[in-house]
Amino acid sequence: MVARAARAKKTWRIGHPVMLMVTMLAGACDGDDTTASSEQVIPAGNESADAAGSPSVQGTVSTPEGSSGTSSSTPSQAVVSPENTSPGASPVAPQSNAGGAPNTPPGSPNGEGGTGAGPTPNGAAGSGGTLPTPGATGTEPTPGPIGTEPSPGPDGSAPGVPEPGPVGNDATQLYKKYEDYFTIGAAVDSSSYRDAHAAIWTEHFNGAVAENEMKWASLQPTEGNFSMSQARAMVDAAVGNNMKVRGHVLVWFDQTPDWVFQGTKDEVLGRMRTHITRVMQEFKDSVYAWDVVNEAVIGYDANNQDVGEDLTSLDHWGYRDSRWYQIAGEDHIFEAFRAARAADPNAKLFYNDFWNYLDGKREFILSFVRRLKDEGLIDGIGLQCHLNISTTQESTTNQTAWQTVENLEKEIQEYAALGLDVHITELDISIYTRDYPSSDQSRWFTGDELTDELQDKLAARYKEFFDMFRRNADKIQNVTFWGIADDNTWLSEFTSGRPDHPLLFDKQLRPKKAFDAIMDF
């Protein structure tokens, strides 16, 4: 997810933004504006700029293509064929099979980028055929600058710990309304946990996650030099307000300094183990769940090129050809979970990704998650859920064509059936669809307050997903929003400059109709 130039957590490649604004209301999870990024030029943030106007990746770290050292093994990958079972759409991909060929680094979630180019990760498995059931995408905002360290409060209290929000009526506080269902979290940054947003954060949420401040580039920018004071202040603020804290993220292809990848496979994995151990032990008593590995799977065409958001040419799903993969193969995933389990045996360990509602992608993820589970190394799956106000209407092969409540519900149930916890980790709903690029200013909404029509559509979209979340409360333990209010969202930080309004509170920090909609039950 964005950069505030580096705040977006994901970098994406979207090869064919063929979209036209739609009627809005019917889709499913994980799709933010993204630009595809190949490991060849990996932006340190959510997106890399492209001709379509996707967000630029401005961050402290870039992950150039190529790796230092070679992979000592080429893991075989299970063949995963996309399925054509999603409601409402039945796009068909080319009938070819490229399993086992090297894979190209696919772009991250919804973006406006072009398709990825370059070899895909070794042994990306899968077979051609019909496309997976439509689902949603998610990308992570790239971390932005950490900012200044908070100062102690006037009474000598811990730095940056806001006063608890008013208790109020149980029925009017969001987390209180959902206390019998699941915890409700919000992502905060180095400012929002202690500025005007803090009053909303402490009143309506009982969960927290740092948007960028706990990523590798923020915590260990140079080897052996850990900088944890900002993250610690944010975690202390959350714990001081009785919130459950998720840690995000230990291993990711983006926002990881170049020095990490220098040397042999053993040296690189050794650095990874050291980082995971040091970070998890630092927050051992205050962070209950960790996204251990993030966004390690993407879709490829028959030539092992990243297909981006347009799934017309989707042939198979495989491991992202990140520098982690180039150097260590799938071992980097298993070693990350082993190190995390050893560092804090009591922490809940998650694999986090976008577009999980696509059947083929889910099956590939399960091909290694089942093995992790057999070793006792994983506890749950994080579904990012960067959604859109509607599925696409013109482009029936864009990944958001599968972004439906039904498809997301199916994914939740499939993962839960394996005994895995399910967390909705980065929820927001863009007021735009994927029928057109973010650079198309004729589609922009530039007012500070949404029209009644947009408010109603956004509210209806939120309501249908939350109705489903409550139906599956026995399977979902947490729902976290990727931000607090519309004045501070990574979706408004693309290089195109397009403003968005994806959260429950508006730019004046007032509750929107969407807030009322998910409270009305």
Active-site amino acid positions = 295, 426
What is the Cα–Cα distance from 321 to 313, expressed in whole angstroms?
Answer: 18
| β-strand pairing of 41-42 with 183-188 | unpaired
Residue 181 in tokens:
């269902």
Q: How long a stretch of residues is the chain? A: 521
Cβ atoms within 10 Å of 467's Cβ, excluding its own: 13
Residue carrying the six token digits 């730095």: 159
Cβ atoms within 10 Å of 396's Cβ, excluding its own: 18
Q: Which residues pair with 427 in a beta bridge?
A: 481
Q: Residue 179 contacts by C-beta under 8 Å, 6 or more apart in sequence?
A: 206
Burial code of 298-332, b = ≥16 C-beta within 10 A, e = fewer?
bbbbbebbbbbbbbbbbbbbbbbbbbbbbbbbbbb
Q: Using the 8-state DSSP alphabet, how is residue 371 labeled?
A: H
456: amino acid identity, one letter? D
Residue carrying the six token digits 């209290």: 157
| Among 84, 14, 126, 66, residue whose Cα is nearest residue 367 | 126
Q: Which residues pair with 395 in a beta bridge?
A: none
| Among 187, 141, 136, residue whose Cα is nearest residue 30 | 136
φ, ψ for residue 188 (rounded to 5)? -125, 160
Contact predicate 132/83, CB 8 Å: yes
| Among 308, 464, 498, residue whose Cα is nearest residue 395 | 308
**Within the chain, how many helices (H) and strands (E) appear?**
11, 13
| Among 479, 452, 494, residue whose Cα is nearest residue 175 | 479
Burial (CB < 10 A; 0-12, 13-18, 19+), residue 228, is: middle
What is the per-residue DSSP string for 131-171? PPPP------PPP----PPPPPPTTSPPTT-PPPPP---GG
CA distances to 91, 357, 391, 415 from 87, rounded to whole Å, are 11, 12, 12, 20
